[in-house]
């Protein structure tokens, strides 16, 4: 029977000691552990190559970057990207660009919600300015009762709280941890 090909490399004594200990904990020889690690790396590389080919065939970009992530980090990435309605690659691109340029990008859905909130607040502000103007001119506006004004104030407070929570969730979602859904 012909001998199998051999792969060799030199490592420092600490690495060798750690490999020996890990192999012992796994009930394997150092050689068997290294063989498993090489096979796992090749499987991971092949899976990444298949995924890259699929992405490249569906989306053309001028520049590509390939990264390796631990499985749990891949899960977090998919979760975060999904929560923001983005493909994982787009999410990573936004993160990198935000970090490099010091930007804080809001996803489209959050941006739309904030724009709607700002428009609502502007309308309420115009209405309250009209009421104040009439009062300042000595008139009595035909408008909201005291209860209605309190309802407007309550709506403004709720909208303020909502905008604050959206901004807080946006800031937290770019940090470490899992995306929370409310």
The domain ranges of the chain are: 13-58, 69-105, 106-182
Residue position matching structure tokens 């800031």: 171
Q: How far apart are CA 133 and CA 124, in angstroms?
A: 14
pLDDT number for residue 63: 67
**What 3-state class would DSSP assign to 157?**
helix
pLDDT number for residue 61: 55
pLDDT number for residue 103: 67
Q: Closest Cα partner for 76 from 174, 177, 169?
A: 177
Q: Closest Cα partner for 129 from 163, 116, 155, 121?
A: 121
What residues contact 105, with CB distance under 8 A and at least 6 apart?
94, 97, 98
Q: pLDDT (tens digit, 0 to 9) for every residue of the chain, 182 residues total?
A: 567 788 888 889 998 898 898 888 878 888 887 888 777 777 766 665 655 555 555 555 556 778 888 989 899 888 888 877 778 888 888 888 777 777 666 666 777 778 888 888 888 888 888 887 887 888 777 777 777 777 887 888 888 888 887 777 776 666 544 444 44
Indicate the DSSP class of residue 142.
S
**Are the CB atoms for 55 and 67 separated by under 8 Å?**
no
Q: At what angle do helices 71-83 and 88-101 cross, to 10 degrees?
A: 90
pLDDT number for residue 177: 46
Q: Is 35 exposed, middle or buried, given 0-12, 13-18 or 19+ CB atoms closer than 10 A?
A: middle
Q: How far apart are CA 65 and CA 145, in angstroms?
A: 61
pTM: 0.36
Q: How far apart are CA 67 and CA 55, in angstroms?
A: 14
pLDDT number for residue 162: 80
**Are the CB atoms for 90 and 81 separated by under 8 Å?**
yes
Residue position matching structure tokens 């941890």: 177
């Amino acid at each position: 029977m012909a001998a199998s090909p051999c792969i060799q490399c030199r490592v420092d004594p600490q690495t060798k000691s750690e490999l020996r200990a890990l192999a012992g904990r796994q009930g394997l020889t150092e050689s068997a552990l290294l063989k498993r690690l090489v096979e796992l790396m090749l499987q991971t590389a092949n899976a990444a190559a298949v995924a890259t080919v699929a992405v490249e065939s569906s989306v053309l970009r001028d520049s590509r970057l390939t990264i390796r992530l631990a499985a749990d980090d891949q899960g977090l990435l998919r979760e975060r990207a999904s929560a923001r309605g983005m493909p994982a690659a787009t999410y990573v691109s936004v993160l990198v660009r935000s970090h490099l340029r010091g930007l804080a990008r809001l996803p489209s859905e959050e941006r739309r919600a904030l724009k709607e909130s700002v428009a609502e607040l502007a309308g309420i502000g115009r209405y309250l300015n009209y009421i104040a103007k009439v009062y300042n001119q000595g008139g009595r506006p035909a408008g909201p009762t005291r209860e209605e004004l309190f309802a407007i104030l309550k709506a403004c407070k709720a909208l303020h709280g909502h905008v604050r929570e959206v901004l807080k969730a946006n800031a937290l979602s770019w940090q470490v941890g899992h995306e929370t859904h409310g």
